[in-house]
């Protein structure tokens, strides 16, 4: 994938970026990957980690921006895997920090 901004991503990838922004801190679990793209049917499980009393809020979803290295790296791994299952995608500050990716051998 050669996308460098959110607006240049395919719609499924853009939806995942927006979901990560909304989650802000937490995990996305059980996300299917087909042909390197995330599927939201069936819907993944969203587990949000909420720090009470924190003023750190998620970014606005509609705003376009340059993709950060962790996002580009995540989609590179998805493309390499082709078809897989994301057991757990850890998100901090709306960015992916680690992924447990289940692939068929």
For the chain, domain boundaries: 6-53+62-103
Is pLDDT above 70 for 80? yes
pLDDT bracket for residue 63 (50, 70, 90): confident
Is the distance from CB of 87 to CB of 101 less than 8 angstroms?
yes
Inter-residue contact 37 to 13 (CB < 8 Å): yes
What is the per-residue pLDDT across 15-38, written as a single tens digit (0 to 9) for each? 999 999 999 999 999 999 999 999
Q: Is the pTM higher than 0.85? A: yes
Asked if omega into 42 is within 30° of 0 (cis), the reply is yes
Distance (Å) of CA 72 to CA 3, 17, 50, 104: 8, 11, 26, 23
* Radius of gyration of the CA atoms of the chain, in A: 13
């Amino acid at each position: 994938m050669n996308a460098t901004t959110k607006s240049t991503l395919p719609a499924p990838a853009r939806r995942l970026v927006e979901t990560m922004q909304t989650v802000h801190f937490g995990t996305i679990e059980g996300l299917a990957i087909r042909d390197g793209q995330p599927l939201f049917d069936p819907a993944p499980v969203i587990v949000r980690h909420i720090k009470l009393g924190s003023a750190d809020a998620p970014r606005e979803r509609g705003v376009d921006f340059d993709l950060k290295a962790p996002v580009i790296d995540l989609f590179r791994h998805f493309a390499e895997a082709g078809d897989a299952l994301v057991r757990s995608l850890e998100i901090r500050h709306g960015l992916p920090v680690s992924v447990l990716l289940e692939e068929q051998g």
